Amino acid sequence: MQRNDPAQYDQLSGHWWDPHGGFAMLHWIAASRAGHVPPASSPGAVLVDLACGGGLMAPHVERLGYRHVGVDIGLAGLEVARRHGVQAVRGSVLAVPLADGCADVVTAGEILEHVGEPGQVLAESARLLKPGGLLVIDSIAATRLAPLVAVRIAERLPGGPPPGIHDPALFVHRGELLATAEQLGLDLKLVGLRPSVRDLVAWRRRRRDTVRMRTMPWTGILFAGWATKRREPVAERRAPGSARTVEA
């Protein structure tokens, strides 16, 4: 199987909710992602979870009071997500089959480094968001150090990603991402992420089921970001490299 093959997620679908399984770190990052999402401001507020996988955001979204709509191309993961209360929609994050302005919050976690067109994911997120809506992302940076740490080392460590799940050629250029966000009317801010070393030791000894993620200024390996969609009207914008025009 080649690196970044989506079929690998289907093969590992039984691991989604195992806190010590192949997707353990995705649990940790989902909790970190949820920490940037405020409680729903009104009944019926919608959170669209792009590349939702097995629905690991579900307990956090329920606690925050949103209607949880998950989008993914993997049928096996979507079935798992449905069992955890996610309204699952099959579709590509590059052309999401949902209406403009349907979301109060969009999350795009651990997907930008898989698609080859992260600017298009931002464009779709901007299209889905209501004015004033919130986008939360996390991904892996395109730096010289990231392939060593996020692939060669991490794939050999407990809690790290399954071998072959990432292709370093698709890691994300942060400058390009910020420029695209600006063009789309998204005020994007980035921070670095790392797991708590103390929690990692306790998790490895089975004294904890999760590991807290810490933020840091350096964004050169794993990073997170959040952006608000500007409320003022702007002209139609085209994301660099994108064939679709969206209204920010």
Angular region, 19: left φ>0, alpha ψ -120 to 50, beta rest: alpha
pLDDT of 233 over the 90 cut? no
Question: In which band, very low, low, confident or very high, does the pLDDT at 240 lie, cut at 50, 70 and 90?
Answer: very low
Query: Looking at per-residue confidence, does 14 or 232 come out higher?
Result: 14
pLDDT of 244 over the 70 cut? no
pLDDT of 159 over the 90 cut? no
Query: What range does the domain containing 126 cover?
Result: 7-246
In the block, tokens 């910020």 appear at 178
Query: Looking at per-residue confidence, does 245 or 129 come out higher?
Result: 129
Q: What is the mean pLDDT of residues 97-120?
A: 97
**Which of 106, 67, 115, 59 shows the shortest CA–CA distance to 87?**
67
pTM for this one?
Answer: 0.91
Q: What is the mean pLDDT of residues 218-245?
A: 70
Q: What is the mean pLDDT of residues 42-48?
A: 96
* Domain presence at residue 236: yes
Question: In which band, very low, low, confident or very high, does the pLDDT at 232 lie, cut at 50, 70 and 90?
Answer: low
Poorest-pLDDT segment among 3-12, 33-42, 139-148, 185-194: 3-12
* Domain presence at residue 167: yes
Tell me the CATH number at 32: 3.40.50.150
* Domain presence at residue 237: yes
C-alpha 187/C-alpha 153 separation (Å) is 33
Question: In which band, very low, low, confident or very high, does the pLDDT at 184 lie, cut at 50, 70 and 90?
Answer: very high
Total domain count, the chain: 1
CB 199 within 8 A of CB 211: yes
* Domain presence at residue 91: yes
pLDDT of 15 over the 80 cut? yes
* Domain presence at residue 78: yes
Mean pLDDT of the chain: 93
Q: What is the mean pLDDT of residues 65-69?
A: 98
* Domain presence at residue 21: yes
Q: What is the mean pLDDT of residues 47-67?
A: 98
Q: What is the 3-state secondary structure (H, E, C) of 34-87?
A: HCCCCCCCCCCCEEEEECCCCCCCHHHHHHHCCEEEEEECCHHHHHHHHHCCCE
* Count of other CB atoms within 10 angstroms of residue 79: 13
Token pair in block for residue 110: 């651990």
φ, ψ dihedrals at 219, nearest 5°: -110, 20
Question: In which band, very low, low, confident or very high, does the pLDDT at 246 lie, cut at 50, 70 and 90?
Answer: very low
pLDDT of 237 over the 70 cut? no
* Domain presence at residue 1: no
